[in-house]
Amino acid sequence: MSRKSLQRIALGYCILVLAVAIWFWSRQVQSVIDLLRLAYG
């Protein structure tokens, strides 16, 4: 595989991973906030 196409794949992979990570961690933080709301109102 050429270096140029590997760079393109890397760009796509990084964007995908970062988008999924942001979604995943925002979901986890939201679940903690919901739990704290349930406990303390």
Partner 1 sequence: MDVYFFFEWLDNSLLAQMSKAYGGVFAVVQMFHLLSLALLGGTVLIGDLRLLGVMLRDVPSEVVIANTQKWFNIALAGASASGVFMSSAVALKLYGNEMFWAKMTALAAGIVFVYAIRRPLLRGDHGALNPWLVRLLAVTSITIWFTVAASGRWIGFS
User: Residues interacting with partner 1, by CB under 8 A?
Assistant: 3, 6-7, 9-11, 13-14, 17-18, 21, 24-25, 28
Cα four-point dihedral sign 21, 23, 26, 30: negative
| Least distance to partner 1, CB of residue 37, Å | 18
The residue (of 4 and 37) whose beta carbon lies closer to partner 1 is 4
The residue (of 7 and 30) whose beta carbon lies closer to partner 1 is 7
What token pair was written down for 27? 């979901």
What token pair was written down for 22? 């942001």
